[in-house]
Structure 1
Amino acid sequence: MKKVLYAFALMLFVSASSVQAQEHVVKLRPFNLLGKKLTVSYEQMITERSSFMVEGGLKLNSGFTMYESQLDTDDVSMGGDAYKQRGARIAAEYRFYPGASFSPDGFYFGPYLNANHSSLSIENAEISANGNTIIADGTGGFTHFGAGIQLGYQWVFGNGFTLDWTILGLGINQYRLDMSMTPQNPGEDWATVISDIDQAYQDHPVLGAHSNIYTEGEDLKADFGFPFLHLRSAIRIGYAF
């Protein structure tokens, strides 16, 4: 009888240790490395079926041509040979696992918050407006923060390794872009370009109500702030312990 009780107690201990070993997960988003981003996260179970996750990321020195295309209009275009961006990101998620039992394994859904800030620099930017082109250098910052809901699935394998797939997230982000451009050869064309840029963005269907373009000495200052619908998806690999 004592052997049976001992074996039963040992089984309970092993089971409890196994559960405890899967309450924490550290993860990495491998595909972000292709874009010179290092993104890591930590997830911890806080109840039998829910967890809390924090994620942080660093964007290394890399180009940001996506902003270039987003700021183009029918009358204004930007081009250059050295677009650089570096910054940091932080996010927090609450996850509910309907089928979990003290382990972040299976289908999940819940809300998330995120914030991001990057510093920007541009060299030899070609700013064209209505046929006038100016070469300028610039610096600035790009910030966005938002919130939304998401759903996904996480696999916790027997060896402790995990695969986390955020299938779809939907939220609202508030974006802000601040730029300061200094012309390499200021002249009469610079004032014309500034006026044309201001008019072009005032007429833009999305940016028009959220842009502020002005001059400070010979510098062109531009502020853009606008909300935007945000879709997200992510794959993370990790280890549960």
Structure 2
Amino acid sequence: MKTILFALLATFYIPAAFAQDSVEVGSRMNTFKLDLTHSLLYRNAYNLSWERLTKQNQSLGITVGIQEFPKVFNLGENIEGKRSDDSGGFKLGAEYRFYLKKENKFAAPRGVYIGPYFSALNFNTSRDIIYTGEGDTREARYNAKFNLYSLGAQLGYQFVFNDRWTLDLVVVGPSITRYNAKMRLEGDFEFDSEDVQNEILDALIDKFPGLDDLLEDKELDSSGRLNVVGIGYRYQFLIGYRFGKKFKKN
């Protein structure tokens, strides 16, 4: 998946780098953006961002969105998930950007930027399962919830075309991230629920890019919870539309 994503970024980056020099950029205050990154990773992901210039070379950004957890049918040994599921989730985020005046030929929001960011991701998913271990077949239902809270710093570049359209690439974005998971099995069954819950957790974690390495060999506690703090990362690909009254250019 990483290879595909970076290939897409390169596809847009190379032609844009050659095309932008002939465009004079005005300074409109606002940009609405559609985040295409999560659309590649999750189901029904619609995340919108708003960037507002606050000073000559600085801006504030807010992100809100909804997204669903990917479907997972192979949930572990002897565990099969039914095709129907109930999934949902949301994303909230904020960031502050400093456009590097010495590195940029044009006024913000075009050019190289750095700055801090915070994001909160929530996923919930429920599904009926069939367990065929121990020589018996039992049905149950799992309810799982994941929360990821990240505080980090990012480096990126934003292209502007015809004073209206933007292509925003976050290329480096390390963070300190808290990963929280909760799992609960419901139903009339006699198998060991803790073992089955941990198998399902492993299968779900595999759907998070990079998370499987961090949470390798981690297990839910007796209450079905898991809390881990580790290193996260961010890369984004957004397209946007600029609007608002122009103010004085540099």
2:72 alignment partner, one of 60, 65, 75: 65
Moved more, 25-34 or 174-183: 25-34
Map 1:71-220 → 2, pairs under 5 A: 78-81=79-82, 82-99=84-101, 103-126=108-131, 134-183=138-187, 185-187=188-190, 190=191, 193-194=192-193, 196=195, 206-208=217-219, 211-214=220-223
Task: Give aligned-pair identity as a percent.
Answer: 24
Deviation at 1:126, TM superposition (A): 3.5
CA RMSD of aligned residues (A): 3.2
Q: Which amino acid aligns with 2:189?
A: P
Cα distance change of structure 1 residues 196 and 180 upon mapping to structure 2, 3 Å threshold: closer
Tell whether the 8 Å contact from 2:130 to 2:137 is kept in structure 1 after alignment: no
Give the equivalent residue in structure 2 for 1:10. none
CA drift of 1:164 comes to 0.3
1:161 Cα shift?
0.5
Evaluate the alpha carbon distance shift between residue 18 and residue 207 of structure 1 in structure 2; reply closer, same or farther with a 3 A threshold.
Answer: same
Tell me whether 1:45 sits opposite 2:49 in the alignment: no
- Larger RCO (CA under 8 A, 6+ residues apart): 2
| 1:24 matches 2:30 | yes
Structure with more of its chain in strand, by fraction: 1
Are the aligned partners of 2:150 and 2:176 in contact in 1 as well (CA < 8 Å)? yes
State the AA in 2 paired with 1:36: N
Q: 1:199 to 1:18 in 2, by over 3 A?
A: closer
Distance 1:155 1:127, change over 3 A: farther
The answer to whether the Cα contact below 8 Å between 1:58 and 1:88 also exists between their aligned partners in 2 is yes
Say if 2:91 and 2:119, in contact at 8 Å, map to a contact too: yes
**Take 2:160 and 2:198, find their aligned partners in 1: how far apart are those partners?**
55
Q: Distance in 1 between matches of 2:143 and 2:237?
A: 32
Unpaired runs of 5+ residues, structure 2, are 1-24, 202-214, 244-250
Matches of 2:151 and 2:241 in 1, distance apart? Answer: 27
- What residue in structure 1 maps to residue 238 of structure 2? 236
8 Å contact from structure 1 (residues 63, 83) kept in 2: no
4+ residue runs over 4 A deviation: 130-134, 195-201
Q: Distance in 2 between matches of 1:25 and 1:229?
A: 30
- Alpha-carbon distance in structure 2 between the residues aligned to 1:51 and 1:182: 47
CA offsets 1:7-55 (integer angstroms, 9 cap, x no match): xxxxxxxxxx943x2x211100235345310010000111111111011
Aligned twin of 2:63: 55
1:134 CA displacement: 4.4
| Structure showing greater Rg | 1
Number of residues of Structure 1 aligned to a counterpart in Structure 2: 199
41-50 or 96-105, which moves further after superposition?
96-105
CA gap of 1:198–1:162, structure 2 versus 1, over 3 A, is closer
Which runs of 5 or more structure 1 residues have no equivalent in the other structure? 1-16, 215-221
Distance 1:237 1:205 in 2: 35
The one-letter code matched in structure 2 to 1:233 is Y
